[in-house]
Structure 1
Amino acid sequence: MGYGLGVFLLAVGLIFALAVQDSIDAVNLTLVGWILAGCGALVIVLVALQANRTRGSATVATTTHADGTQTTTEKRTQTDPPPPPTA
């Protein structure tokens, strides 16, 4: 499942919703089209959110000083480094 499935569902749904004028007994093709288009948009959003999620770990250390103040240090490591930019 990926962007391809989302784009396919969105395209087929919009074709059914906006371009098909035929009718089938007991089936509203316009409604089926809008449902498919909504599912396609939802798949695209979910794939984008999943791809954007950072994969890594975070380490948090809190140090208490003699005067009572605290310092918090956070270190994040990413297991999948981003690809180098292409020119």
Structure 2
Amino acid sequence: MKIQFSDGIKFEVLPAFLKIGYFGEEQSGFRYPDSNMGGNWKATDPKAEQEAIKAKNKASNGLLQATCRHLRVVRNERFSSLKLACWYCN
């Protein structure tokens, strides 16, 4: 299901399930369905991704976050059809 707000922001809502190990233990991250190209399950670990971006941003003295923001502005103002793959940049 897609939700679109009046300011143009769109969210896709889908089910996500905690990853469970072979012996029933909870693992870090989630699995979610992807119906594209025949369908399969994908995995994500948002907390690990956030921590990795935070560490890279700190190591670059804030340049990573500034660059992502700049890319968003350029994309939104000049290349609205461009799709960025970076979750942080969207």
TM-score w.r.t. length of structure 2 = 0.23
Between structure 1 and structure 2, the one with the greater Rg is 1
Q: Whose strand proportion is higher, 1 or 2?
A: 2
Q: Whose helix proportion is higher, 1 or 2?
A: 1
Q: Which has the higher contact order (CA 8 A, sep 6+)?
A: 1
